[in-house]
Amino acid sequence: MDTIQSYPYDAVLGDIGIINGWIITPNGAAPLQGAQWIVADRTWTYTYLPTSSVVLGLLLLCMPFIGWVLAIPVMMSQTTAVTGYVEVTVLTRGLIHLTQFPVATVGQVSGVYAVVQALRLGW
Share of the chain above pLDDT 70, in %: 93
Across the range 73-77, mean pLDDT stands at 85
* Nearest-angstrom CA–CA distance, 41 and 107: 12
* Nearest-angstrom CA–CA distance, 35 and 51: 47
Instruction: Sketch the domain layout of the chain as residue ranges.
Output: 27-122
Q: What is the pLDDT of residues 50-63, one digit of tens each?
A: 998 889 888 888 88
Looking at residue 90, its pLDDT comes to 94
pLDDT at 46 over 60: yes
- Are the beta carbons of 85 and 100 closer than 8 angstroms? yes
Q: Is 90 exposed, middle or buried (0-12, 13-18, 19+ CB in 10 A)?
A: buried
Instruction: Identify the H or E element spanning 82.
Output: strand 79-92
